[in-house]
Amino acid sequence: MSGPEVAVFVSGVSSMGLEILAGRVVAPQFGSSIYTWGSIIAVFLAALSLGYHLGGKRAGTRATTDRLVRLLVGTAGYVALLIFFGDQLLLSTTALPLPSRFASLPAVILMFGPPTYLLGFISPYAAQLSRKEGIGEASGHVYALGTIGSIVGAFGTTFFLIPYLSVTYIYLTLGGVAVLTALYLALPEDSVSVLPAIGVVFLLIAATTTGALGYTARGEVVYETQTAYQELEVIDGGDTRTLYLDGQRHSAMDKSDPTRHVFEYTRYFHMPYLYASTPDEIDRVLFIGGGGFSGPKRFAAEYDATVDVAEIDPDVVRAAEEYFRADEYDINTYIQGGRQFLQETDNTYDLVVLDAYKRDKVPFQLTTREFMDLVTERLSPDGMAVANIISSSSGPASEFYRAEYKTMNASFGQVYAFPTSDTGAIQNIELVATKSDTRLTQEQLRERNQDREIGIDLADAIDGYTTDVPTEDVPVLRDDRAPVDRLLDSMVGQRYVIEETGSGSGDDDTNTTEPAAAWGDPALTVRDGGAVTRGQGLHIR
């Protein structure tokens, strides 16, 4: 390929690579809902279109190899600035008074609009410089090369860069490809353009190596990686080790007591032991969503029951085993999406814990009537399910919680709601569903809590027993109509409260409450996430 053709190909690689990376960059602050992805796609298309338009108007008088070099160097230079100041640029847009569904738009424009705009000039300039005969042949050839480059960028970023490199090094790779292409075009004739290109090379290297000291304001970074589904970090702060997914707290472990429940809401997973006729009748438990394996570890240590976990992200499982001591417990782990696992398994469970809902991006296929019917089919006659919902207990931000309550009611005999905080803020709400039509009262649960030895005192949890859950204005979620993103939209930017147990060795210590001001704040907690796709079916012991 000629120099201009190489430039077009690389522009396609870089633009698509940046577009896919943008989803990872803005997700910790704004979530990864359809509104975020819609904003990303629209901004990239708008920036490219503007570049194409202006580039086409100027190509007749300005299209030179030197200008192609400048455009590539400018793109790489802006990528270097994103490595240096990307976090500050992202945070600077959070205070803008926009409706929640448009909240990510300024960040995407500011961070990714300029380099994409510059890349848009390359195709019309290259068409002008093409050796092809005729405008149609030249333009068709150039845009075909750009599209092929976009395909390479999409596959390369999705299947190679994101799973194996951090965001910083992906920036370095994409910027490095652009600046190396600029050097290829400039050498040996255009020595004047070589110096800026070399300067950007050093800028990229300096940006990548600055500040990588293995420590953040959250604590010591023990491990970090980009998985196929999310950014994963393991961070130590004092005696607590925390799993961060996409920059938000997901699971935590007391390093001196690995089965203690650090987050208050994980204690509610034990509630079915009060609903069962006898605690001994819960023989087999399935957790859909593993995270740091807080619940599975405690169940494996506390009860004489088989504990299975379906977790779609193999890197999460590896982190749980290596850094959260999950491999020390008798837990059967399956690398599969929860719905796929239930469809394919022959096992019957006495309890299924649904812990695969994120605050910003809930896999809708784990919320619908059809899925809940599948759960009931895999349960024993007296089986139960617990769903960990992140929502508000009342007001507009409660729509997802109330819709899920209504949906589970359509599949189960009884559904019980337990908000984990007495505030109206966004919080974890635990839904306990039973196949039995007989409803237990709050007083009956209190009596069973006093009489039964289940290894944990649930008196505080029982106090949150809720009976009045209005559902008239929310739908039953179905596979063909599950407007989960719309139901979650009202939660964006609202205060999120998560309670933690005391720092002592037991779970019955005084609770502390940690509030967070807005979505994306490091204090927020997001429970087990990841969209359900075709799993590998790997069974890990």
pLDDT digits (tens, 9 = 90+) for 311-323: 999 999 999 999 9
Q: Is residue 96 part of a domain?
A: yes
220 domain-assigned? no
- In this prediction, residues 459-479 reach a mean pLDDT of 93
* pLDDT of 434 above 70: yes
In a domain, 16, yes or no: yes
For residue 316, the tally of other CB atoms under 10 A from its CB is 29
Both 64 and 198 in one domain: the answer is yes
Residue 425 has pLDDT above 60, yes or no: yes
| Angle between helices 65-92 and 3-30 in degrees, nearest 10 | 0
pLDDT at position 189 is 65
pLDDT above 50 for 130: yes
The pLDDT of residue 35: 86
Asked whether residue 8 carries a pLDDT value surpassing 60, the answer given is: yes
- 242 inside domain: no
Angle between helices 167-186 and 65-92 (to 10 degrees): 160
In this predicted structure, which of 225-239, 264-278, 389-403, 424-438 has the lowest mean pLDDT? 225-239
170 and 263 share one domain:
no
Helix (H, G, I), strand (E, B) or coil at 457: coil
- For 163-185, what is the mean pLDDT? 91
What's the whole-number mean pLDDT along residues 438-453? 95
CB 513 within 8 A of CB 420: no
pLDDT at 350: 97
**pLDDT (0 to 100) of residue 359:** 62
pLDDT higher at 12 or 103: 12
Q: Say which range, 157-171, 212-226, 228-242, has the weakest mean pLDDT.
A: 212-226
Non-local CB neighbours of 499 within 8 Å, separated by 6+ positions? 263, 264, 265, 420, 421, 511, 512, 513, 514
Looking at residue 190, its pLDDT comes to 61
- Chain mean position to CA 15: 22
Asked whether residue 329 is domain-assigned, the answer is: yes
Same domain? For 192 and 271 the reply is no
- pLDDT for the residue numbered 360: 61
Task: Write down the pLDDT at residue 30.
Answer: 81
- Same domain, yes or no, for 402 and 473? yes
Q: Are residues 185 and 281 in the same domain?
A: no
Residue 442 pLDDT > 70: yes
Pair 144, 29 in one domain: yes
Note the pLDDT of residue 294.
94
**Residue 165: pLDDT above 90?**
no
Rounded Cα distance, 418 and 420, in Å: 6
Q: Residue 493: is its pLDDT beyond 80?
A: no
CATH of the domain at 264: 3.40.50.150
C-alpha span between 50 and 113 (Å, rounded): 10
From CA 367, how far away is CA 374, in angstroms rounded?
11
Q: Where are the alpha helices (DSSP H) in 284-438?
A: 294-302, 314-323, 338-344, 369-378, 399-411
Residue with more model confidence, 95 or 174: 174
Confidence of residue 512 (pLDDT cuts 50, 70, 90): very low
One domain, residues 342 and 420? yes
Determine which of 88-97, 276-285, 371-380, 427-436 has the lowest per-residue pLDDT on average.
88-97
In a domain, 360, yes or no: yes
The answer on pLDDT for 185 being more than 50 is: yes
The one catalytic residue among 308, 350, 355, 360: 355
Domain boundary among 193, 213, 233: 213
* Same domain (yes/no): 317, 196: no
Q: What pLDDT score does 24 carry?
A: 87
Whether the ω angle into residue 188 lies within 30 degrees of 0, i.e. cis, is yes
Residue 138's pLDDT is what? Answer: 85
Q: In terms of domains, do 207 and 264 share one? A: no
Main-chain dihedrals φ then ψ at residue 433, nearest 5 degrees: -115, 135
Is 283 a residue of the active site?
Answer: no
The mean pLDDT value for 410-418 works out to 97
- Domain containing 165 equals 3-213
Domain contains 286: yes
Q: What is the mean pLDDT of residues 494-523?
A: 49
Residue 55 has pLDDT above 80, yes or no: yes
**Residue 124's domain is classified under what CATH number?**
1.20.1250
Of 454, 480, 495, the one marking the end of a domain is 495
Residues 145 and 264 in one domain: no
The answer to whether residue 239 is domain-embedded is: no
pLDDT of residue 507: 52
Last residue of a domain, one of 213, 245, 271: 213
Query: Taking 50 as the threshold, does the pLDDT of residue 395 lie above it?
Result: yes
User: pLDDT at position 519, please?
Assistant: 38
- Are 476 and 343 in the same domain? yes
Mean pLDDT across the chain: 86
Confidence band for 433, pLDDT divided at 50, 70 and 90: very high
Give the angle subtended at the CA of 18 by the CAs of 30 and 335, to the nearest 5°.
70
Number of structural domains (the chain) is 2
**CA-CA distance, 363 to 360, in Å (whole number)?**
10
- pLDDT surpassing 80 at residue 417: yes
**What are the C-alpha distances in Å from 389 to residues 11, 50, 353, 500?**
42, 42, 11, 17
Summarised one tens digit per residue, pLDDT across range 63-105 is 999 999 999 999 999 999 999 898 888 888 877 878 778 889 9
pLDDT at residue 526 greater than cutoff 70: no
Helix or strand holding residue 219 (H, E) = strand 219-226
Which amino acid belongs to residue 146?
G
> Is the confidence at residue 21, as pLDDT, over 60?
yes
Of the ranges 14-28, 111-125, 234-248, 421-435, the best mean pLDDT one? 111-125
Report the percent of the chain where pLDDT is more than 70. Answer: 88
Same domain, 295 and 165: no
